[in-house]
Structure 1
Amino acid sequence: MLKQSFIRLASTDVEYRPFAEVPALLETPNVPGNVTVLHPGEYNRSDAIDLKPGDAVKTGQKLALFPESVAYVVSPVTGTVAGIEPFAGDFGRRYAAVTIEVSDEEEPDNQFTEAAASPSLEAAKNFLGCVPGMPDLSVFGDPDHPIDVLIVSGADSDLMVDTNKYVITAETAEVEHGLHLLREITGVDRIVVALPSDIVQGIGSLEAEVFGVSPAYPSANPRMIANAVLGEPIPAGRTLAEAGVAMMSAETVANIGKAFESGSIPTKKAITLIRKDGSKTMVSVKLGTPMGRILRDYGESLGEGDRLILGGPMTGSAVFSDTYPIQADTDAIMVQDSQAVSFVSDYPCINCGECIRICPTKVQVSMLVRFLEAGQYEDAADLYDLYSCVDCGLCSFVCVSKIPIFQYIRLAKYELSRLQAAEAEEAENV
């Protein structure tokens, strides 16, 4: 079979809903007794670490477990470290869960205040890698893959999520300031702001090109936006950074602007709360707040069989407990009523072709899934364009047999990444 090497956007009947009006952002009334932040990287209880239970921390303080590592997390509150435990995320992601008991009095940390006086890429990398929106600042300054264009997305990639659309409309001045700073500290000349087509006219002048995103889902998918902005296909299997593209959310840019202007690291996250009845509320919460606390504060209950989803309806992940904390990249939490939960089956594919017709990159999904079900991931990648998939979830959405195709695809990509990492490590040791 001829391997498809690039993205081709196909039209679908699934669309993003426009704003009727800019919603109000509701502040969560109380900071919870404890917050939990996830420090990236594997951690074992026997490891010698710099941070210990009982240590006092300040709001905005940079917390690093290992002295030789560049990984860190930022404390969103003032308090005392109550515990540090290993934490397993989706698909093998490893963290250390740092739980902080919140103090009554807030005391800001001043390390970043000194660095903010002279904005630089180094200061941003050292302190702002965990601001709400979670920027990947490591892509800047790589001589092997220089960044030619920075794309700032004011659109949300999943359906029903309004977080970045809210930020770009309600905090335009903060986004503008962030754009100016990023141009200055990264040296990237071309900055493009991608906006939902329904709000392009309502946004004032920005220090960047403006690109209108089609309402057809998944046009706001980061890879789809990059492909459209560049006007040429990005080969399957290449990262955006390898193609010279950096992508940030509007919320990320606004928070970078706020950080350098105020000299303090933002610690509140805007999220879209999607209720059982489909209504939405924009809320602002402290990073590390348990999801269950937000549901209780806003009167949304969890019943037997209800599903709690981190993210939106198409690409979100169900979580096993309402104690799961809000992190810097959490754009939405969704509560799905037990009666509305779609069942998943092990029925065989009936070859209806709906998944192929709706796939925006025209992957032969009905053939791909056969290899994925059998665990033949390398053949799936080589023969049936696994890496052309942009992870939009439309194939699972339309599947008549209710095969969890999207989950199979995510698992396959994860397993192949593990295999490639193991091969690279083995090659280094030869």
Structure 2
Amino acid sequence: MLAERTKKIKPSPTLAVDSRAKELKAKGMDVVNFGVGEPDFDTPEHIKEAAIKAIKDGFTKYTPVGGIDELKEAIIEKLERDNGLKYEKANILVSSGAKHSLYNIAQALFGPGDEVIIPAPYWVSYPDQVLLNDAQPVIVETREEYDFMLHPEVLKEKITSRTKAIILNSPSNPTGFIYTKKALEQIAEIALKHNLYIISDEIYEKLIYDGEKHISIASLSEEVKNKTIVVNGLSKSHAMTGWRIGYAAGPQEIIKTMTTIQSQSTSNPTSIAQKAAVAALRGPQDCVEQMRLEFEKRRDYLVKELNSIPGVSCKMPKGAFYAFPNVEKILGKNGINSSMDLSIYLLEKALVAVVPGSAFGAEGYVRISYATSMENISKGINRIRKAVEELR
């Protein structure tokens, strides 16, 4: 018999959509894939060269479980330079991707009877990681008119004696919105009052538009920092999804426990990828800015086109590389009664892959990734327009 906890979780819907899109492509169909959250750019050359050098130098053995000192020092420099956060090496853990960092946190902090507040729309893995550690996700709905930010009064209503932590994601997957300083201050005040941990997923930090600034909630005060575990990585900012390097920064006791957990699961992240990560953090950053500028152009075009489709409305996201259009006015037509129905219809009828909002706890929306070429975006949006018009 399988463990009881396995019955509580489901496969990632985003990867399921991507898998089906690839199946159709393998059959020779011209699928436009808006489903997967992966930059379409290649990893910058200086990062690849650092990895090649590591291989040639024989840096291919085990490393310390929590990452090499050189990489921890580069992360410390980055956090101080970009976020105004000061840490020691004992406060840093390098893992096999930011998802791995988040899972280590869940293993270290959560257990039976604990509740974890997760604002919806949420990244698909948050609830399942909580469930896998025998805790209970408490989903708190946010509203489009408030840019999908967690409202302090709603947050207060959801806190109980069992609440252990809040998970924040800014910029957000799937909405692309960011938390303002005021909103973060309000959430931090409530968290401190109730002695809650804050898990701050900042993986899209470098992808922000319109002159907006990223603010890490941990930077608000030393008191807030001491209750916050910051999670970040290089997958999105440096087009390094396959290299699997993420990291967590937080209180020493928690990081030490997470490191022990990692020692009994994956052990160290790949040695070669760690050397590449040092080059990514310490090397030239113009490649990151070039990608950001291109994403911004794509976003502007995509959102404008989405808003020209009858029955679709889409607010302008401020970060990441996702649009999260509202499709409620389309639902109910021709047997399309949910965002999942619409996603299946668009994939089978128009050969366009999108992810249903229901996967993120937000029925009535779909997520569209613009981490693909402008040519694909144009082709895909025209197909969506035609397919939607045929529902009328």
TM, length-normalised to structure 2: 0.29
Q: Which has the larger radius of gyration?
A: 1
Question: By percentage of residues, which structure has more helix?
Answer: 2
TM, length-normalised to structure 1: 0.27
Question: By percentage of residues, which structure has more strand?
Answer: 1
